[in-house]
Amino acid sequence: MYWEPEQCRTHIPTLVRLAISKLLKTISKRVDINTLLSNLLNLDYNTRAKPKINWEIACERNKLLNKLHQDALQVIEATGKLELKHMHLLAEINPQSA
């Protein structure tokens, strides 16, 4: 699949946000993810609505990407705190890797 540069402005942040959202939903089925997070997340991953930014302004897109990056790192760090008995949750996210 090839995207024009203009399409990347919205598609890449949307895909990253969707990945974080799916990871949070899967882990939250069995573990209270909030107990594992060191800080509150920057964005609300319970809504499907795109963040309200002006996609044409580079600094707004960069701020959003930075927030997504911070959230992703925090969620990845939180999954590292999972006890071994919860590791099967990661296989539910990507069954092909199991």
Domain parsing of the chain, residue ranges: 5-97
Q: Looking at the predicted structure, is the pLDDT value of residue 78 above 60?
A: yes
User: Predicted confidence band at 74 (pLDDT cuts at 50, 70, 90)?
Assistant: very high
Phi–psi pair at 81, nearest 5 degrees? -85, -10
- pTM score, whole prediction: 0.74
Residue 19: partners with Cβ closer than 8 Å, 6 or more residues away: 72
pLDDT at 93: 64
How far is residue 42's CA from residue 6's CA, in Å, rounded to a whole number? 25
pLDDT category of residue 66 using cuts at 50, 70 and 90? very high
